Amino acid sequence: MVVDKHEQLAPLDTDRPALSVVVPIYNEAESLPHLLKAITTNLDALALTYEVICVDDGSSDGSTEILRQQTEVYPYLRAVLLRRNYGQTPAMAAGFNYACGDVIITLDGDLQNDPSDIPRLLAKLDEGYDLVSGWRKERQDAALTRLLPSKIANWLIGKVTGVSLHDYGCSLKAYRAELVMDMKLYGELHRFLPALAFIEGARIAELPVLHHARQFGQSKYGLGRTFRVLMDLLTIFFMKKFLTRPMHVFGLFGLVCMILGTITGLYLTVLKLGLGQSIGDRPLLILAVVLFLTGVQLFSFGLLAELSMRTYHESQNRPIYRVREVLGADKPMPPM
């Protein structure tokens, strides 16, 4: 069971940094040293305490060894090594779980995001927002396979979720820690964090940030991601609509159908028994039966949905990743 880490760390409160930088790493060996240097340079200029949490998502290119070395160099670096490649979302979820800061910044490990934007994100957050999302205004990625699908996806996500951001896919974001603490992520859901946060009443802002072309290594994604993102969007849509009370939606439709079916049925019964008319060949009879059955079905479906949603809510303590080892473990960390 995952214990609430804030409860756990309460006596060590003074050790808690103001800021946690969370970076998912999957085969970014060449970028890593540059990245850590850039983060350090930009954050040392600010008068605040911080930690960097690199989540190694089962890298096989030597990133793990580099992280091992770097934890010796940077005292505020913690590397969380996952047992295999789980994907960006679980890697970020692991990072969130190990982060102790009051504010969490996420960015990519491939140098495409620029740590020099961090102070501006923090300043924006201080204006009273719970989440500040980066907007790669001049995005340096392939136009046809990346920019176009992303434009369409962003538009769709905005329409469905009701949070209009230009760029959901930008990893560079700043969150108040309590916002992400109890968010359960899976699939490609990390890009829907603003939408999920919005459902929970967060105040969200957007800020144009720098974006660079990839210098080292390769992108881990192709067109297939667009499909997965769309499927996750459907989930979000249903979560937004039905998550808390499915019975309100299905139960209502079910009840309306049942009532209409009953009225029609009663009418036919009066015709048959009261007036002695034949009703066997009337289409209305079919309608009455269909309405009633549909009503019963929708109603019981609503009850089932309600039950499974309860299970969903109550079984949320299961982590979606497994940790092999934590380096730089001189700091407090949540039990797994």
Nearest Cα neighbor of 53 from 17, 4, 11 is 17
214 to 253: interface string for ligand UDP, x by CB under 6 A: -----xxx--------------------------------
Instruction: Please list the residues that pair with 317 across neighbouring strands.
Output: none
The Cα–Cα gap between 126 and 61 comes to 39
**Phi, psi (rounded to 5 degrees) for 107:** -155, 165
CB of 121 to ligand UDP, least distance (A): 17
Count of residues interacting with Mg ion (CB under 5 A): 3
> Does 66 interact with ligand UDP (rule: CB under 6 A)?
no
Alpha-carbon gap, residue 61 to 85, rounded angstroms: 12
Q: By CB under 5 A, is residue 112 in contact with Mg ion?
A: yes
Which H/E stretch holds residue 148? helix 148-161
| C-alpha closest to that of 127 among 197, 205, 199 | 205
Task: Kindly tell me which of 68 and 220 has the beta carbon lying closer to ligand UDP.
Answer: 220
φ/ψ of 71, rounded to 5, equals -65, -20
The answer to whether the CB of 191 falls within 8 A of the CB of 161 is no
25 binds, among ligand UDP, Mg ion, none (CB under 5 to 8 A by kind): ligand UDP
Task: Kindly state the DSSP code that residue 189 receives in the 8-state scheme.
Answer: G
Q: Does 188 help bind ligand UDP (rule: CB under 6 A)?
A: no
Residue from 88, 133, 161, 226 touching ligand UDP (CB under 6 A): that is 88
Task: Choose which of 101, 109, 115, 261 interacts with ligand UDP (CB under 6 A).
Answer: 109
Q: Which is nearer to ligand UDP, 28 or 130 (CB)?
A: 28
26's contact among ligand UDP, Mg ion, none, with CB below 5 to 8 A by partner kind, is ligand UDP
Report which of 78, 64, 72 is spatially closest to residue 27, judged by C-alpha positions: 64
106 touches Mg ion (CB under 5 A): no
User: Residue 111 phi/psi, 5° resolution?
Assistant: 70, 10
Task: Select the binding partner of residue 240 from Mg ion, ligand UDP, none (C-beta < 5 to 8 A, by kind).
Answer: none
Binding segment for ligand UDP (CB under 6 A), chosen from 109-117, 121-129, 182-190, 254-262, is 109-117
Give yes or no for a contact between 328 and 79, defined as CB atoms under 8 angstroms apart.
yes
The answer to whether 110 contacts Mg ion (rule: CB under 5 A) is yes
Query: Which H/E stretch holds residue 50?
Result: strand 50-56
Of 24 and 134, which CB lies nearer to ligand UDP in the complex structure? 24
Residues that bind ligand UDP (CB under 6 A): 24-26, 28, 57, 85, 87-88, 91, 108-110, 112, 219-221
